[in-house]
């Protein structure tokens, strides 16, 4: 079994906005697969929607972006950098995600440069697609913040 880094060791995100609980597959600079275990205790479920808690689609896209960030930041060329959203294309939501489910997040990096990059991602529950999206991001120096 391979030991992968803790997502918090690579991403600048912290709870409650760190959505990747663990990395389950990683090819640095190429792709990442992570999981997000939804306990139902997350605060957004109380208001989205009362009586029918559902994971907001925008948070699924954010979780995919974080997973793409893990793929990029695990490559030594991007150590200490901060990927920021530049755009979202072709986002599609295929099923609801509810408390108690585990969201599997897969992201594959596309064209990358020192200043920007592209990624595609798929979020699924038990191999059933919940969300897919193409993403663009810019690479910021942490000293620029």
Give the model confidence (pLDDT) of 111-140 as tens digits. 999 899 999 999 999 999 999 999 999 999
pTM: 0.95
* Architecture of domain 20-144 in this structure: Roll (3.10)
User: Is residue 48 annotated as part of the catalytic site, yes or no?
Assistant: yes
How far is residue 52's CA from residue 97's CA, in Å, rounded to a whole number? 11
The domain limits of the chain are 20-144
Type and span of the H or E element at 116: strand 116-125
Alpha helices (H) along 1-145: 7-10, 44-47, 57-73
| Sheet containing strand 128-141, strands side by side | 22-27, 31-37, 102-112, 116-125, 128-141, 81-93
Per-residue pLDDT, averaged over 25-30, amounts to 97
């Amino acid at each position: 079994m391979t030991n992968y880094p803790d997502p918090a060791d690579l991403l600048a995100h912290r709870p409650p906005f760190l959505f990747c609980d663990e990395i389950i597959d990683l090819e640095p600079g190429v792709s990442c697969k992570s999981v997000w275990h939804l306990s139902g205790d997350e605060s957004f479920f109380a208001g989205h929607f009362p009586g029918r808690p559902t994971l907001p689609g925008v948070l699924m896209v954010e979780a995919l972006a974080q997973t793409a960030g893990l793929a990029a930041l695990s490559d030594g060329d991007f150590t200490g950098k901060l990927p920021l959203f530049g755009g979202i294309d072709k986002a599609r939501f295929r099923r609801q995600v509810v408390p108690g489910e585990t969201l599997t997040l897969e992201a594959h990096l596309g064209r990358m440069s020192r200043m920007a990059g592209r990624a595609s991602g798929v979020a699924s529950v038990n191999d059933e697609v919940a969300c897919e999206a193409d993403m663009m991001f810019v690479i910021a120096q942490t000293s620029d913040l």
